[in-house]
Chain A
Amino acid sequence: MDEMLSLLGSTLRLSAPLIFAAMGGLLSERSGVIHIALEGMMMVGGFAAAVATLSFHSPLVGCAAAVIAGLAFSALYAALVIPFRANQVVAGTAINFLAAGVVPSVSKLLYGNTGSTPSIPLDERLHWAGPVVGAIVLVAGLALLLAKTPVGLWIRFAGEHPHALASAGVNVIRVRFLSVLAAGALAAMGGATLSLSLSSAYSRNMTAARGFMALAALIFGKWKAWPAFAACLLFGFAEALQNRLQGVALPWKPDETIPVQFIQMLPYLVTLVVLAGFVGRSRAPKALGTQF
């Protein structure tokens, strides 16, 4: 029973960064902009959060820094894909590269190495409940925003039929731009959760494709808030299971443990299977990936 509870707890904790990123992706993609760059946003968010927390000794300042960093990078992304009409997948990849290059470069400047930031003292870290509660509130809020408010309606139309939105007198470019900006801020918060709550520092490549898993969760969740949340829980569970299985003996050979490599690939394998098994039937926003 305790076992179950602790597995549940770690599932929630490990899902939180995915949920933040997936909700960011939800905003961006419902407004019609593919968001491959969630990964990069998580990287800069996680790093900025760690740096700010180390300097100001407050995880809240850390979160604020993450949001600012995420906004900065997503402003760049939004500029590339909206006014400059770059292919969204290609530009997203560029932003991911940029994040992967900028973070260690700044780390080198600040701390003299390109690996991890120094460790954040225990009492300056984010309590695990914060992000978990925050993530759930976020899902509820976004679900409400999209379904019940004028802004939500605009976002949905921007992704479904932007010309209809424009002919109704709403500025599509602005709706998309702001959605992409918000997406960056949310994904960066996901990154902050990684460095401030789930571990004790930002370390190189610690996002480990979570940005892409968040996208997979979004697709699996049919671009809807609560189903995407459920998909994030599934991936979080795979990760929790991965941690739990380390060092567990093989059932048929009690003196040997399951090779760690096979355990490590579990979340990726689950993502791949989920994406392959169920996505064919889900319908993307009609104008997703198109220029306006």
Chain B
Amino acid sequence: MNVVSSLAIELRNISKSFGSGESRVFANTDVNLSVRRGSIHAIVGENGAGKSTAMKILFGMQSADSGEVHVFGKSVRWRNPTEAMASGIGMVHQHFMLAGPHTVLENIVLGCENSSAFGILDTKKAASRLRELCERYSMPVDPDRAIEDLPVGVQQRVEILKLLYRDSQVFILDEPTAVLTPQEIEALFSNLRRLRDEGRTILIITHKLKEVLALSDEVTVLRQGKTVGSIQTKQASAELLAEWMVGRKVILDVKSEAESNPGVVRMKVTDLVLDSNHAMLKNVSLEVRAGEIVGVAGVEGNGQSELLRALLDPKNPLSLNSGKVELLGHDVSSWSSSQIRRLQVGFMPEDRHRDGMLLDESVELNILLGLQNHPAFVSEIPGVGGVIRKSALKQALERAWVDYDLRPRQSGIPGRSLSGGNQQKLVIAREFEHHPEFLVATHPTRGVDVGAIEWIHRKLFKARDQGTGILLVSSELDEILSLSDRIIVMFQGAVVAEFSRGNVSAQQLGLAMSGGLKGGHA
């Protein structure tokens, strides 16, 4: 058997660094990877392990400093994705490369359009080709619908169809399951297996070990920019892979030692209604008591963000049409966010970079964010207004270094210079400066290393045990299942199911998340 031709992809000693001088970062150091033609190959590793960089090099989005890339036995050196695509490589990015207001068809033909006379787009031909593909792979989608009107699972289907339309032979999928329900994941996997059986090669980047074990034929683990090893999936276990990823033994599921002991109601919402373009809440009612964690499960975009906005800024007619919001015993339905932020409540935002950080400002000012009305940090001087207490900020930063293991321990550095995990630690440290009696934790471990995940989960349990009521919103079902004392499921803006700890499986949750569970409360 010819060894070279049986390999679809081979990376040999790929190295890549960014920046220069002291700030130089080595994203890949001698990364090696061999992917057999017609196999599903998983690449796992923590954030910053170099997975994305390696894939970007493979896809021509970045060029390696040194090393070789071989595709179907040929050495290649691409300058842009176009060249990679011409060789039959296609990529489904974690953040979909789809423009919301444009149609499915427009998104699919982009870059390989056919024109009829006078340079006018030939949509008829393209549409019929697309329909054919939809039928052949049983992935139905309406070519004329706007992307933004489609559920996330269907959007992903469009991404895959995009590659099929170009007849790609190698599919790179970056964290493809992050936004899907268990049922959608199963459907995706069976599609991928089918593509493999047709002889195509699938590369899947993920951090979910269960899925690696369920889907792949082979696994390669990266850590700190280096290849740790490759293994046949049959011979691997979650524990082994996790150890390779982190470099030490890790506890995958943090369990609370104490049973929860719910106390007084800390947050209560009744009949929240919101109806605007792409956002809605349908009669959402929910309460969180002191000392319990209530998990909100649901595919992203089913009202979770709207629920959070209603809690943060109920007065704003854009966040709430009607309904009652109570926090810490106050009826806050007509409060603004600046009033609510004066209460002992904490909000860990959905998206740190977008909602929670001033990337170009110092860590001190990042700590002040949201605490600017807190008497410990700002003295009110009559006739002048609030004056910032710099010494208090410095102390809070030092507390974050010690209590939250925030690194590097350096004052004055910009928020941007912290790693993802440390940015999240800063946000957590800051929100705990409110001494919150009620805390909203949204995707608390998204983009965070495995080691830090464990640590963050412990922090949340500790807060719960000390009497904080926590509303946990997460798209990681495992996180919801292991942390929550109660779980509610949101679908299309409504609460469709509620479960208590231990009384629900991931499958049941998934069914409820896709609206398949009628009749509500279990």
Contact = CB atoms under 8 A, between A and B. Distances in A.
Determine whether A and B are in direct contact in the complex, meaning some CB atoms lie less than 8 angstroms apart: yes
Interface of A: 144, 148-151, 153-154, 156-157, 160-161, 163-170, 283, 286
A168 B97 contact: yes
Interface string B79-111: 011100100000101000111111000110111
Contacts of B21: none
A3 B102 CA distance: 45
Give the interface SS of chain B, mostly helix, strand, loop or mixed: loop
A151 to B, nearest CB: 8
A156 B102 contact: yes
B113 A150 contact: yes
Q: Ordered nearest first, which 5 A-B pairs have the shortest CB separation?
A: A168-B111, A169-B82, A164-B97, A161-B99, A150-B113
B19 interface: no
Nearest to B59: A167
A166 B79 CA distance: 13
B383 interface: no
B97 A163 contact: yes
B252 interface: no
Given A165-B111, A169-B81, A169-B85, A153 B106 contact: yes
B115 interface: yes
B240 to A, nearest CB: 34
B502 interface: no
Interface in B104-129: 106-107, 109-113, 115, 119-121
Given A153-B110, A169-B85, A170-B111, A164 B99 contact: yes
Contacts of B113: 150, 153
B81 A167 contact: yes
A165 B81 CA distance: 11
Contact of B99 (A156, A169, A283): A156
A165 B504 CA distance: 43
B110 A164 contact: yes
Interface residues of B, number: 24
B110 A170 contact: yes
A148 B109 CA distance: 13
Contacts of B107: 164
Given A160-B99, A170-B110, A153 B121 contact: yes
B85 A150 contact: no
A235 B88 CA distance: 52
Most chain B CB neighbours (cut-off 10 Å) among A144, A157, A283: A157
Contacts of B110: 153-154, 157, 164-165, 168, 170
Contacts of B93: 163, 167
Contacts of B115: 149-150
A233 to B, nearest CB: 26
A164 B98 contact: yes
A283 B148 CA distance: 14
A283 B99 CA distance: 14
Interface of B: 61, 80-82, 85, 91, 93, 97-102, 106-107, 109-113, 115, 119-121
28 contacts: A144-B120, A149-B119, A149-B121, A150-B115, A150-B119, A153-B121, A154-B110, A157-B99, A157-B102, A160-B101, A160-B102, A161-B99, A161-B100, A163-B97, A164-B97, A164-B98, A164-B110, A165-B111, A167-B61, A167-B93, A167-B97, A168-B97, A168-B111, A169-B85, A169-B111, A169-B112, A170-B110, A170-B111
A150 B118 CA distance: 11
A148 B102 contact: no
Given A148-B121, A153-B110, A165-B110, 6 more contacts: A157-B102, A164-B99, A168-B110, A169-B82, A169-B85, A286-B99
Contacts of A150: 113, 115, 119, 121
Residue picked from A153, A160, A170, A286, most chain B C-beta under 10 Å: A153
B100 to A, nearest CB: 7
Contacts of B112: 168-169
A267 to B, nearest CB: 32
B118 to A, nearest CB: 9
A154 B93 CA distance: 19
Nearest to A158: B99
A160 B109 CA distance: 16
Most buried by B among A167, A168, A169: A167
A196 B109 CA distance: 44
Nearest to A163: B97
- Max count, chain B CB within 10 A of own CB: residue among A157, A161, A283: A161
